[in-house]
Amino acid sequence: MPNTPAQQPGQPGTEPAAVARLRACTSALARDARSGDWTPTPLERRIAGLLGTAAAGTGLPTAPQVRAALWEGHAVFLQDNGGRLAALLAALLTVLDELGAGGAGGVGAVGVGAGGAGEAGGTARVAAYGAVVDACAFVAATAEDHAAC
């Protein structure tokens, strides 16, 4: 993925588990979409479009916006097409919550270099931000109208 910061091979645990889960979910779903093994259903396209529209003002979604998108689909969304897009959004929500991106400004307002334990905390935030951007780009491409997320 283009926004993935360089990882040091052979060093497990270089990023938080939630970020690694989001990155893996995005990568697997994008790979399957490119190969034709996964095609979004009309419901998944609609949910992705709603999230893109909600995030249009700031460029990236807030945790409440992702929660609302998940809620919009109800139980059907969790089961539709294997629930893979719902799982991606759930992973995204976990990372947004960990970043403290619940406010109106979302991830951008939090700042990728702020907080954490010194340089390691800043690096983790940059990795998390990259994973959020990649997930958002995939969700936007899934939307019916390809609205920017």
For the stretch 62-88, pLDDT in tens is 899 888 888 877 778 888 888 999 999
CA–CA distance, 141 with 76 (Å, rounded to integer)? 21
In a domain, 2, yes or no: no
For residues 68 and 51, give the distance between their C-alpha atoms in angstroms, rounded to a whole number. Answer: 8
In sequence order, the 6+-apart residues with CB closer than 8 A to the CB of 38 are 29, 32, 81, 82, 84
DSSP assigned state of 15: S
pTM of the predicted structure, to 2 decimals? 0.69
Is residue 102 domain-resident?
yes
32 or 7, higher pLDDT: 32
For residue 148, tell me if it sits in a domain. Answer: no
pLDDT, average across residues 99-127: 57
Question: Which pLDDT belongs to residue 114?
Answer: 44
As a whole-number percent, the residues of the chain with pLDDT over 90 amount to: 32
Tell me which residue range forms the domain holding 42.
17-28+38-142
How many structural domains is the chain composed of?
1
Q: Is residue 33 part of a domain?
A: no
Q: What is the C-alpha separation between 38 and 84, in angstroms, rounded?
A: 9
Domain contains 67? yes
**119-124 average pLDDT score:** 66
- Summarize the confidence of residues 40-53 as an average pLDDT: 90
| Residue 99 within any structural domain of the chain | yes
Cβ–Cβ < 8 Å for 125, 17? no
Residue 147 is assigned to a structural domain of this protein: no
In-domain check, residue 80: yes
Residue 30, pLDDT > 90, answer yes
